[in-house]
A and B are shown apart, each in its own frame.
Chain A
Amino acid sequence: EAQVTQNPRYLITVTGKKLTVTCSQNMNHEYMSWYRQDPGLGLRQIYYSMNVEVTDKGDVPEGYKVSRKEKRNFPLILESPSPNQTSLYFCASSPSRVALVTDTQYFGPGTRLTVL
């Protein structure tokens, strides 16, 4: 089954404790992206990757890191989490950013992160 998976689905942590949220897709998509979703706000892009070893900042990259060593995986790293990073995080993928004109983005199930 074609899908985007994220782990963990739920995470409660404390300020300053490094964490990684994993994202994996099995559709051989080139383009992957991380978003955060907060109440009353639309999804906001954190980082994206157009292909292996190619990553770039989105609209709200502060406090986050990513890597793209393999096509299928795109982990989101919070080196020193803070309470304002408490949010719902989504990973998404699509075949190609250039072809995003009518490409569908496939979203993962989300990771609910709470930073105390």
Chain B
Amino acid sequence: KNQVEQSPQSLIILEGKNCTLQCNYTVSPFSNLRWYKQDTGRGPVSLTIMTFSENTKSNGRYTATLDADTKQSSLHITASQLSDSASYICVVSARKEYGNKLVFGAGTILRVKS
């Protein structure tokens, strides 16, 4: 069964600190992996997209890594800011005959406090 599991469920950190969010998946056949940021009361916004051959991708202070062998990904946030408080969703795309099927993780809720 295609599944995406994220950890931790929630996290509180101090402003300026770094943190790492984890994503493990069992989706097959793998096509790509995305990280989304979802602010409270808003729709998810794409942060990064990685295909099988990419193992690191950065977007400003966000760096995503992918290990396709162990089926794990992480999202590292550097020098956190209050505006980073949000839910972070890992989405894995399974390759299908007529396009891709997206499988969503439940998200990690990050709270950055001053």
**A residues adjacent to B (C-beta < 8 A):** 4, 31, 35, 40-45, 50, 90, 92, 96-102, 104-105, 107-110
Contacts and interface: CB of A to CB of B under 8 A. Distances in A.
Contacts of B32: 101-102
Interface stretch (B14-22, B44-52, B60-68): B44-52
Contacts of A44: 104
B42 A42 contact: no
A90 B31 CA distance: 23
A110 B43 contact: yes
B106 A101 contact: no
21 contacts: A4-B43, A35-B104, A42-B106, A45-B102, A50-B98, A50-B99, A96-B99, A97-B98, A97-B99, A97-B100, A100-B31, A100-B93, A100-B102, A101-B93, A102-B49, A102-B51, A105-B102, A107-B43, A107-B44, A109-B41, A110-B43
Interface of B: 4, 31-32, 41-46, 49, 51, 89, 93, 98-100, 102-107
Nearest to A40: B106
B81 to A, nearest CB: 22
Contacts of A50: 98-99
A108 B43 contact: yes
Nearest to B44: A107
B102 A98 contact: no
B99 A110 contact: no
